Amino acid sequence: MTRRVAVVGANGFIGNRLVETLHLGGTFSVRPIVRRTEALALARRFDLDGAVADACDGAALEKALAGCDLVVHAVAGDPATIVASAAATYRAACAAGVGRMVYLSSASVHGQSPPPGTTDETPLSDRQTIAYNNAKVRAENLLRRMRQDGQAGLLILRPGIVYGPRSSWIGGFADDLLAGRGVLVNGGEGICNGIYVDNLVDAVVLALEGRGRDGEAYGVGDAETYRWVDLLEPVAATLGTEPLRVDVAPGPVGGPGLRSSALGTARAMAKSLLPGRVRAALRAGHAAFRAYPAPPRPRRTRREPLVSEEMALLHGCAWKLPHDRATRDLGYAPRISFREGLARSLAWLEFADYPVITASRAGDGEPA
Amino acid sequence: MNAPPKRVAISGCGAVTRLYYLPALGELAAGGSITVAAVFDPDRQAARSVAARFPGATVADGLEALLAERPDLVFVASPPAVHEGQAIACMEAGADVFCEKPLCLSGVAAHRLQSAARRTGRRLVVGMVRRRFPATQAIRDLVASGTIGRIETVHGFEGGPFRWPVASQRYFSQEVSGGGVFQDIGTHAVDLLTWWFGEPSDLSYEDDAMGGVEANCRLVLRYPGFEATLRLSRDWARPNRYEIRGSLGTIVWSVDEPHRIELSHAGRDRPFDLVARPDAVDSGGSGRASVIDFQSCFTEQTAAAVGMRDAGKLVSVDEAVRVVELIERAYAERRPFAQPWLQGASFQQATP
């Protein structure tokens, strides 16, 4: 009998790809769970019935998980939500008789720039400078404690930089590039501990199939070692633009701030400067309109620093996190090469209506 | 002597009624030009909360009970799948109808509505609020006058992560909505494109529905000498704007700016902002000039529907039929939208 998998956070980048893959794969039946009904828009491309539940609301989750054999927690959120939703989902999974919960933690439990030698066995700290990392550490610790008394099995995955179609690392970076804010820190020479989203989905499927040791956490990543510039520069090339290159000295990171450009606010009436045809058109039908010389439009009004602490640490990473434990226990082997994953991500930019200048298979040629 | 207030009724108390019709009708009722006689929604609580805004409004048990209140005009803002049945029942009961878009879900149904309007002698108009935007009216005139020369390309993008507060996931179904993002936003967009450029000579259409309703689609309307491409999404945001490139200039319109367009013209380095004066839209019954925004245009459309002004600008059933038919034709010629991350077997499976 086909087992039913609930995906909590089904409208997120990873959750959505899980729903796509599990549904189209046919091995599992899928129940997408989202916080608001309207967030089912992508899942409803398939004729899939979803459930609506706040991931921090145990009672609502228990109802949503009824009849499910397995659950994947793919909820994004602020630090408080990360911890609360992990606990609520595990508690609801136990109450609903779910066999196993797969929790998507993050490689950032080791920090954005893990020290050389870091492995899955390295002890974790919840006193890092970045709140997200601490929340993921606390969620893992809490889940392990809950597992001691809970009925549902638990498996934790720690993906690094998950990229692919709809990821912020691709689409968000494209938006930043078009706004003149796409940055490579120190040339992007640091190691990117990336994982193409389908490789992560494969690891989730292995966990859903019962592989791996109960309560254990597994780092997962792509097979290849590559740099940030290898991931991000092709995004810029596809858009015909260049990332800004910002050098940040090692040490405490504040990052150079970006001054928003001061916009001229004075708008002189300028009808007399209009071409004759436009003047005539305005006279004919648009007495209600006034013409102004358009000021340069603000490209972005965000005021946060151009380089965040997180970005500086990521782009300065000097260690490729291993995934040998996942290989040994889960049978994890990255199926999609970096080259292919990147090619699919760049092709998505065209799908998403970005102004690409090259063919959909931009980057470095045909995928392997 | 002032005319007596028009008796209006509302069928459908979902998000569009709550967010837009309530402020518009509230303003008209406060000005004394209408009274809301009755309200109906199968979700009685939703109907009650709308009726509470209008003293004396009855919460009807069904459409028949609503029509028993003898409204002059019914606002049909129910799910698209029931527009046809409700609008015909209203007209047969002697009421005019203002139908929220889309008019209905098939060309056959649209023609039945057209016939019913003729047979009953009632007025049937369709809510196409964007026609009230000074920006869209200016685009139509600038294109028609040849101001930007011969049209060369047109491109529009609308959408982003879906945030419309739907009541049920059945909203995302053929049965209730007749499609996904194309049936929803596409109705507005196709109406504008055909209003600006006329009927296309040909079209092609692709979307990402895989057994359900589409979240992404791409429509290409072909005209002699140019193509108009429309990309709609409930998935990923890009700037929501239209760019109309002609041999002498370019018009850029951001959808969230009802009052403003940007016009570049040959020989000018910098574009012009064309900004409508606040009194270009006369909001509701107040007669006051106000900020031109989506709601003021919506209120103006509602005021026109109750016969206060500019009724000639309303979109007639005859015009709406053409949009319904074009959307139906696009769906009929649908091809799967290539999703490059669905490789090999999974893509084959997704696109039977």
Task: State the smallest CA–CA distance between residue A347 and chain B in angstroms.
Answer: 6
Residues of chain A with pLDDT > 70, as a percent, come to 83
* Cβ–Cβ below 8 Å for A41 and B172: yes
A:119-178 residues touching chain B, CB 8 A cutoff:
164-166, 171
Q: What is the mean pLDDT of chain B?
A: 91
* Cβ–Cβ below 8 Å for B277 and A293: no
User: Is A239 a member of any domain?
Assistant: no
Nearest C-alpha neighbor of B310 from the set B125, B143, B105: B125
* Cβ–Cβ below 8 Å for B346 and A41: no
Residues of chain B with pLDDT > 70, as a percent, come to 92
Q: With beta carbons under 8 A apart, name residues in chain B contacting A165.
A: 339-341
Mutate to test the interface with B, among A31, A38, A177, A360 (most CBs of B within 10 A): A38
The more confident residue out of B7 and A297 is B7
Q: Confidence class of residue A346 from pLDDT cuts 50, 70 and 90?
A: very high
Which of A250-264, A348-362, B186-200, B262-276 bottoms out in mean pLDDT, i.e. has the lowest? A250-264
Nearest CA in chain B to A360: B340
Over range B22-32, report the average pLDDT.
94
* Cβ–Cβ below 8 Å for A344 and B341: yes
**Within 10 Å of residue A331's Cβ, how many Cβ atoms?**
13
Would you say residue A59 has pLDDT above 90?
yes
Highest mean pLDDT among A276-285, A303-312, B58-67: B58-67
**Per-residue pLDDT at A294:** 67
* Cβ–Cβ below 8 Å for A47 and B212: yes
User: Is A241 a member of any domain?
Assistant: no
Over range A308-329, report the average pLDDT.
96
The more confident residue out of A301 and B225 is B225
Helix (H, G, I), strand (E, B) or coil at B121: coil
Which of A154-158, A281-285, B231-235 bottoms out in mean pLDDT, i.e. has the lowest? A281-285
**Per-residue pLDDT at A297:** 59
* Cβ–Cβ below 8 Å for B274 and A291: yes
Helix (H, G, I), strand (E, B) or coil at A113: coil
Nearest CA in chain A to B278: A288
User: Is A238 a member of any domain?
Assistant: no
User: Is A327 a member of any domain?
Assistant: yes
Cα–Cα distances in Å, from A288 out to A269, A276, A292, B134, B275?
14, 18, 13, 8, 8
Give DSSP secondary structure letters for A180-231: T--EEEGGG-SEE-EEEHHHHHHHHHHHHTT-S-TT-EEEE--SS-EEHHHH
Would you say residue A343 has pLDDT above 90?
yes
**Interatomic CA distance for residues A250 and A312, integer angstroms:** 9
Helix (H, G, I), strand (E, B) or coil at A281: helix
A:194-253 residues touching chain B, CB 8 A cutoff:
198
Q: With beta carbons under 8 A apart, name residues in chain A contacting B270.
A: 293-294
Over range A143-147, report the average pLDDT.
98
Q: With beta carbons under 8 A apart, name residues in chain A contacting B279.
A: 288
**Within 10 Å of residue B338's Cβ, how many Cβ atoms?**
15
Would you say residue B347 has pLDDT above 80?
no
Q: Confidence class of residue B60 from pLDDT cuts 50, 70 and 90?
A: very high
**Per-residue pLDDT at A248:** 87
Residues contacting A219, CB < 8 A, separation 6+: A107, A119, A120, A158, A159, A160, A321, A322, A323, A325, A326
Q: Do residues A61 and A8 touch, judged by C-beta distance below 8 A?
A: yes
Which of A335-339, B242-246, B344-348 bottoms out in mean pLDDT, i.e. has the lowest? B344-348
Domain that holds residue A34: 3-164+194-222+320-335
**Per-residue pLDDT at A305:** 72
Q: Do residues A214 and A30 touch, judged by C-beta distance below 8 A?
A: no
Over range A213-242, report the average pLDDT.
98
Tokens representing B158 are: 């609308």
Q: Which helix (DSSP H) or strand (DSSP E) does residue A101 occupy?
A: strand A100-104
Nearest C-alpha neighbor of B74 from the set B116, B123, B30: B123
Over range A229-238, report the average pLDDT.
98
**Per-residue pLDDT at A275:** 67
pLDDT tens for each residue of A62-86: 999 999 999 999 999 999 999 999 9
Q: Confidence class of residue B348 from pLDDT cuts 50, 70 and 90?
A: very low
Q: What φ, ψ does residue B33 adopt, rounded to 5°?
A: -90, -15
pLDDT tens for each residue of A18-30: 999 999 998 999 9
Percent helix, strand and coil across chain A, each to the nearest 5: 40, 15, 45
Number of structural domains, chain A?
Answer: 1
* Cβ–Cβ below 8 Å for B210 and A38: no
Q: Do residues A194 and A230 touch, judged by C-beta distance below 8 A?
A: no
Would you say residue A99 has pLDDT above 90?
yes
Q: Which helix (DSSP H) or strand (DSSP E) does residue A17 occupy?
A: helix A13-25
**Per-residue pLDDT at A326:** 98
Count how many pairs of residues, chain A against chain B, have C-beta atoms within 8 Å.
164
Q: What angle do CA A179, A185, A191 make, to 5 degrees?
A: 120
Nearest C-alpha neighbor of A79 from the set A124, A127, A157, A131: A131
Nearest CA in chain A to B208: A45
Rounded to an integer, what is the distance from CA A292 to the centroid of its chain?
A: 41
**Per-residue pLDDT at B70:** 97
**Per-residue pLDDT at B309:** 67
Show the beta-strand stretches assigned E in B148-301: 151-159, 202-207, 216-223, 226-233, 241-246, 249-254, 260-265, 272-276
Q: With beta carbons under 8 A apart, name residues in chain A contacting B213.
A: 44-45
Task: State the smallest CA–CA distance between residue A36 and chain B in angstroms.
Answer: 8
The torsion defined by the Cα of A131, A135, A137 and A143, in degrees rounded to 10, comes to 180
pLDDT tens for each residue of B234-254: 999 999 999 999 999 999 999
Q: Confidence class of residue A273 from pLDDT cuts 50, 70 and 90?
A: low
Nearest CA in chain A to B168: A37
A:53-82 residues touching chain B, CB 8 A cutoff:
none
User: Is A349 a member of any domain?
Assistant: no
pLDDT tens for each residue of B129-144: 999 999 999 999 999 9
**Per-residue pLDDT at B310:** 67
Would you say residue A267 has pLDDT above 50?
no
**Residue count of chain A:** 368
* Cβ–Cβ below 8 Å for B213 and A344: no
Mutate to test the interface with A, among B169, B297, B337 (most CBs of A within 10 A): B169
User: Is A156 a member of any domain?
Assistant: yes
**Per-residue pLDDT at A261:** 28
**Residue count of chain B:** 352
Would you say residue A359 has pLDDT above 90?
no
User: Is A218 a member of any domain?
Assistant: yes
Over range A168-175, report the average pLDDT.
97
To which residue do tokens 């120190």 refer?
Answer: A186
Q: With beta carbons under 8 A apart, name residues in chain A contacting B165.
A: 36-38
Sheet harboring B96-100: ordered strands across? Answer: B58-59, B34-40, B6-11, B73-76, B96-100, B124-127, B315-316
**Per-residue pLDDT at B150:** 97
**Per-residue pLDDT at A54:** 97
User: Is A9 a member of any domain?
Assistant: yes
Which among A40, A278, A354 has CB closest to B263? A278
Output the CA torsion sign for B175, B179, B180, B184.
negative
The torsion defined by the Cα of A310, A314, A316 and A320, in degrees rounded to 10, comes to 150
Nearest C-alpha neighbor of A42 from the set A32, A30, A51, A52: A32
* Cβ–Cβ below 8 Å for B145 and A284: yes
Q: With beta carbons under 8 A apart, name residues in chain A contacting B145.
A: 277, 280-281, 284-285
* Cβ–Cβ below 8 Å for B212 and A198: no
**Per-residue pLDDT at A291:** 73
CATH number for the domain spanning A79: value is 3.40.50.720
Which of A14-18, A177-181, B342-346 bottoms out in mean pLDDT, i.e. has the lowest? B342-346
* Cβ–Cβ below 8 Å for B342 and A20: yes
Percent helix, strand and coil across chain B, each to the nearest 5: 40, 25, 35
* Cβ–Cβ below 8 Å for B234 and A39: no
* Cβ–Cβ below 8 Å for A352 and B279: no
Over range A49-56, report the average pLDDT.
97
Which among A39, A45, A347 has CB closest to B213? A45
* Cβ–Cβ below 8 Å for A38 and B212: no
Task: State the smallest CA–CA distance between residue B122 and chain A in angstroms.
Answer: 32
